[in-house]
Amino acid sequence: MKRRVTKAIFPVAGLGTRFLPATKSIPKEIMTLVDRPLIQYAIDEARAAGIKEFIFVTSRGKGALEDYFDHAPELEASLRKKGKDELLEVLQNTNMDSGAIAYIRQHRALGLGHAVWCARRLIANEPFAVILPDDVIAAETPCLEQMVEAYQETGGCMVAAMEVPPEAASSYGVLDVKEDLGSMVSIKGMVEKPAPGTAPSNLAVIGRYILTPKVLQNLNRIRSGAGGEIQLTDAIAEEIRNDRDVFGFRFRGERFDCGSKAGFLQATVSFGLAREELRDEFAQYLREMIALPNAAQ
């Protein structure tokens, strides 16, 4: 019987330098997509997948991220007094119960693999998820929930994957496919940021993982890889070399790279248009903006 996945690691120690000066004083994960910070999308996705324990790997200057999940008694009392029940419910959905969330410091920026390794004592001997908040995925069924359902059939390790243009493959971890089973692929290898023209496929790893504790043991032994960092991809590839099952999962949904300015703007447009109370006014504005250059011609 496969164990349930109830723990998730959120690596949020990055400095967010691509969004300076905004990230000079606030963590990147608190930046707002429509009206929710990026980290709230990640937490909501994890909750939908049955995650009960939330482990944040942080760094200095992330106090606002910790405060975000705390209760705000004065604000809640004010909303309750004014009868703003809908806003009160929205606010209460951001609260985390005592003991549900833990914070681990990553004192040195040694890569994603190292960030996951920092949480090893809280994972112990259980399967666990990893969610990268920069990757926001719009889906009818949340991406991690799709993966957890598939994991009940497969076990092993699983990474979210999507097709990317061949010329973009060098920016990702890329799968070397053993057998293509449709939404699922079995993997015979993984390459982190392959040199242009050398990628084994155009199936790229996206920031959702379900991993076994063996991966943490592998991280104990791995030295720095691509970019001088300890790569999580290398630890997962070690499972393949040890003849353990590793799968890629083609999720149903649209992924936005909110670690880039262009991706963040694209997500803002998409999520804004998806909101019923914003759609008409926002769509009209976009149509007018598109018409202006055409009119000038």
Examine residue 136 and state whether it is found in any structural domain, yes or no. yes
What per-residue confidence (pLDDT) applies to 1? 54
Residue among 258, 280, 220, 277 nearest 19 (CA): 258
Examine residue 64 and state whether it is found in any structural domain, yes or no. yes
Examine residue 227 and state whether it is found in any structural domain, yes or no. yes
Examine residue 296 and state whether it is found in any structural domain, yes or no. no
Instruction: Identify the three-state secondary structure at position 146.
Output: helix
- Going residue by residue through the chain, which has 297 residues, state the pLDDT in tens, using 9 for 90 and above: 567 899 999 998 887 788 888 888 888 888 899 989 999 999 999 999 999 999 999 888 777 878 888 777 888 888 888 888 888 888 777 877 767 788 888 888 788 889 999 998 899 888 999 999 999 999 999 999 999 999 988 888 999 999 898 888 888 888 888 888 888 988 988 888 888 888 888 899 999 999 999 999 888 886 665 556 788 888 898 888 888 889 999 999 999 999 999 999 999 999 999 999 999 999 999 998 888 766 555
Give the number of other CB atoms < 10 A from CB of residue 172.
21
Backbone φ and ψ of 285, nearest 5°: -60, -45
What per-residue confidence (pLDDT) applies to 51? 93
Examine residue 164 and state whether it is found in any structural domain, yes or no. yes
Examine residue 77 and state whether it is found in any structural domain, yes or no. yes
Amino acid, single-letter form, for residue 236:
I
Examine residue 285 and state whether it is found in any structural domain, yes or no. no
What per-residue confidence (pLDDT) applies to 135? 94
pLDDT of 157-190, one tens digit each? Answer: 999 999 898 888 888 888 888 888 888 988 988 8
State the DSSP code for 195: P
Give the CA distances from residue 133 to residues 25, 103, 249, 257, in Å, rounded to whole numbers and listed in that order: 19, 16, 18, 9
What per-residue confidence (pLDDT) applies to 223? 64
What per-residue confidence (pLDDT) applies to 227? 57
What per-residue confidence (pLDDT) applies to 258? 93
Examine residue 22 and state whether it is found in any structural domain, yes or no. yes
What per-residue confidence (pLDDT) applies to 179? 83
Name the pairing type of β-strands 135-138 and 128-131: unpaired
Domain count, the chain: 1
- Which CATH number do you get for residue 140? 3.90.550.10
What per-residue confidence (pLDDT) applies to 250? 93
Backbone φ and ψ of 224, nearest 5°: -60, 145
Give the number of other CB atoms < 10 A from CB of residue 12.
26
Name the pairing type of β-strands 7-11 and 246-250: unpaired
What range does the domain containing 124 cover? Answer: 7-259
